[in-house]
Every structure is written in C-alpha cells, then in structure tokens.
Amino acid sequence: MMKAVVRVTSVAIFLYVGLAAAIYLNQEKLMFHFAPVPDGHIYAFDTPYDEVLISGEDSAKLHGVLFKTDRPSRGVLIYYKGNMGNVSWSEQIAEPFLDMGFDVLSMDYRGFGKSRGELSEAALLSDAEAWYDWATDAYKGRDVRVFGYSMGTTFASHVSAVRDVKNTILFAPMKSIIDVAERRYPFLPIALLAEYPLRNDQKLARAKGHIVIYHGTNDRIIDYASGKALAAVLGPDDSFITVPGGTHYDLPWREDVRTDIRARWGLGFAGLPDSRSQKNAENSIFSNTAR
C-alpha cells in the first residue's frame, strides 16, 4: 500500500514539475501569437496610411502604420494592440477614432508584422516609449492620445506613467499576466515562472492624465475581475466603465462605447468638437461608473 502511495505521489510530482517546466519554457508561445510578414509585404488598407519605421533602443527595426483621418485632424491616437495578428488587423479598430478626427498610429511588436528584434519585457516597454516619442515629435503642438487593448493596455499604462499623456483609454485590460495566469492555473507558482509579469496595476498607479477603462462582463479572455481590480489604483477623476454583456472582442464596435468616448472627449457625432458634449463622466451613457 505504501509503495502504491509513493508511486502515485512520484508520478503526480513528475507531472506537476513537467507542466510547470513546459509553461516556463513555452511562455512566449503561449503569450504571443506571432504573425510576421516579409519586409516587402504590402498591406491592403482602404484607409490612406503611411508606413513608419523607427529603431528600438537596441537598434531593432520597429514597424508601424499611420492611418490618416479624412476629417480635420485633431492629432494622433497611439494604438497598442493585443497579442495576436499584426497591423493588418488594426484598420477596423482605428475606424471610430478616425471618424473622431484622429490619425491612428498602430505598431507591431517584435516578431509581429515587419518588426524585428529580440523579445523581452524591457524591450517591449522601451519600444512603447519610442513610439510615443516619435508621435509627439511628428505631431508637435497637437493632441497625442494613447489607447491600449488587451495585452497592449500594459504598454499604454507604462507610457502614461513615464510620459506626459493627457488622455488614455484602455479596453479589456488585465491586472497583470500573473493575475490572468493564476486564475487559469491556480495550482502553479505563476509568479515564479513569469518572465513577462506585465504588471499593469503598478504602471497604472503611476499614470498621469485622464484614464478611462472599459471592460465587458462577458469577457472570456481576460476575466472582468482582473480588469476591475485596476479600479483600485485609478485617480479620483478617472473612470472604470462596466460594459454589461460586453465581450473581449466587441468593445471597439459597440455604439454605446463609441458614444461614451465621444461624450468624454467632447466630440460631436461627426468627430468634431461639439458644445453639447462634455468630457466628464456625468455625460456618460453608462449610468454605473465604478471606481
């Protein structure tokens, strides 16, 4: 009997250690769904755009696209995307902001699209800063705003903490990769395994300017509770918006969310300043604004 118990225990320990090792060794593949394209690839967008190339701190080649609004430009919105696809997926995400009169800069992380370079959390955070610096230089004296989606919310929060960002919007954010993984694998020592902790909570706590978070209650990718945990680090003028029935993928296309953003940014429905619109939460169509 004792031998059987020892044997079962040994097998369980072996499987546990093996699973932990597999997650540790493959975490980049689990986190990043790379979608590289050749350098000569031509994107087929309906929206006018420019390709933008900058260098990372380590001279890595970083690529992005700058979508151009057909309205009088109010400035630029920097879009830090999620962990899937490349900039070919960004045009539809950009559309509502283009309609509001913003150009939209969307970039690929290292290993995605035409961006190259060795991947690390430090490199990704540095790259996020480099893109913001490029945008502020290209749009001197004009409005530069930041938008993060899913995993990209960490980079948006980081930039908002280390640069003078006036307006930041986050869609479906996570408290951290550690928090997301621990909810899925509560039996594993995720904090010890994670090479990309992506502590959104720590970065957002230091962020400047006005911050608005939208998170859907039916998000099955990043649990609503993980995003809601960020409400605790928001400032008194910031907002966490619960989107009833919202999923991880439908937020950019929901007209109620778009209307709310227009109201908070003081924009009319044509994307132009409207004296009837207000920037504060009182004009939000969402009556339950939780902090």
The full set of domain ranges for the chain reads 1-31, 35-290
- Per the CB < 8 A criterion, the answer to whether 233 and 170 are in contact is no
No. of H helices and E strands in the chain?
A: 10, 9
Comparing 13 with 75, which gets the higher pLDDT?
A: 75
Q: Which residues contact 7 (CB under 8 A, 6 or more apart)?
A: none
The three-state secondary structure class of 281 is: helix
Query: Please, what is the Cα angle at 173 between 172 and 178, to 5 degrees?
Result: 130
Would the pTM of this model clear 0.95, i.e. be above it? no
pLDDT for residue 194:
73
| CATH code for residues 35-290 | 3.40.50.1820
Q: What angle do CA 223, 227, 229 make, to 5 degrees?
A: 115
Separation between Cα atoms, residue 174 and residue 184, nearest integer Å: 13
Instruction: State pLDDT tens for residues 136-176.
Output: 999 999 999 999 999 999 999 999 999 999 999 999 999 99
Which residue type does 3 have?
Answer: K
